Homo-oligomer: A and B are copies of this chain.
Amino acid sequence: MINVLVEKIKALDAPVVVGLDPMLKFVPEHVQKAAFAEYGETLEGAAEAIWQFNKNIVDHIYDLIPAVKPQIAMYEQFGVPGMAAYQKTVDYCHEKGLVVIGDVKRGDIGSTSSAYAAGHLGSVKIGNTICRGFQEDFATVNPYLGSDGITPFLDVCREEKKGIFILVKTSNPSSGEFQDRMIDGRPLYEWVGEKVDEWGRSCMGDSYSYVGAVVGATYPEMGKILRKVMPKAFILVPGYGAQGGKAADLAPYFNEDGLGAIVNSSRGIIAAYTKEPYADKFGAEGYGEASRQAVIDMIEDLKTIR
């Protein structure tokens, strides 16, 4: 799947992933009203609203981008109906030919980690039948528990030719509390990055590994170092746009081949209609068109640095 992702990025000249993080406050009122009219102000109503919102956005952007990254927390908050909306979103994005990165940040050990890997990337055996759960193409994973948490994912990745992105340096202000602490002269995130490189070399695609890393756009100087520590890891870069990361900051995340990173924008795209220059032109009714224009602008913006 990393090979597919790389080919799509090249074909579209767009190292861009759109975060489908449909907080209800981003969903225009007319979409919410229609959903609530059918299902009431219930978990089912909210799930319907975010699903319809997603669908319209995906319809407007699927031909421009290689991948989407639904943030499962935004669905999980609506309980079981929310999880059903997550599943529908994943399936629909696949129908539209998109690579799906499940932003699930799971992390556990042994058989529990295997269960997460099976449920999101692999399969489960039920009686004599092989069944599949959420079926994303990639998942994000937390490294705090060490190799015991990661290797079950690697096994599934090899079998299914899927991939993971491991949290290395996150984009948030307090990420330094633990991640930046110095260990034998180097920060923790570098040690994690080294393990990502090591884990990744055991499951290589053509030019990049099945094992990528998450490194926030908000720390470009660390991105530069981590790019060298993990030369074969694709870097998933959150924090562009709404969190303050700028295109100029992103150059260090790419390799000399112009590849090696994929930049995420969530609310900058899906809530584009709430902000200028898109609000005035498209309004809430045109939220799909606004997200399309925001994607086009983001792709152009990223061309300035590669």
List chain A positions with a Cβ less than 8 A from chain B: 21, 23-24, 32, 36, 40-43, 45-46, 71, 73-74, 76-80, 82-84, 87, 105-113, 115-116, 118-120, 124-129, 131-134, 142-149, 167, 170-179, 181-184, 188, 191-192, 195
| Contact for A79 among B87, B108, B195, CB less than 8 A | B87
Beta-carbon nearest neighbor of A46 in chain B:
B126
Do the beta carbons of B178 and A146 come within 8 Å of each other? yes
Q: Known A80-B80, A82-B133, A87-B80; judge A143-B144 contact (CB<8 A).
A: yes
The 4 closest A-B pairs by CB, nearest first: A79-B133, A146-B174, A146-B177, A41-B127
Do the beta carbons of A176 and B146 come within 8 Å of each other? yes
In the bound complex, residues from chain B placing their C-beta under 8 Å from that of A113 are 73
Copies in the complex: 2
Beta-carbon nearest neighbor of A176 in chain B:
B146
Do the beta carbons of A107 and B109 come within 8 Å of each other? no
In the bound complex, residues from chain B placing their C-beta under 8 Å from that of A192 are 178
| Contact for A183 among B45, B116, B183, CB less than 8 A | B183
A-B contact pairs, 27 of them (CB 8 A): A24-B124, A24-B126, A36-B126, A36-B127, A40-B129, A43-B126, A73-B116, A76-B116, A76-B133, A77-B119, A77-B133, A78-B133, A79-B87, A79-B119, A79-B132, A80-B80, A105-B108, A105-B142, A144-B167, A145-B175, A146-B174, A146-B175, A148-B173, A178-B192, A181-B188, A182-B183, A183-B188
**Complex CA distance for A71 and B112, rounded to whole angstroms:** 8
Do the beta carbons of B148 and A167 come within 8 Å of each other? no
In the bound complex, residues from chain B placing their C-beta under 8 Å from that of A40 are 129
**Complex CA distance for A40 and B84, rounded to whole angstroms:** 20
Beta-carbon nearest neighbor of A119 in chain B:
B77
| Contact for A23 among B43, B111, B171, CB less than 8 A | B111
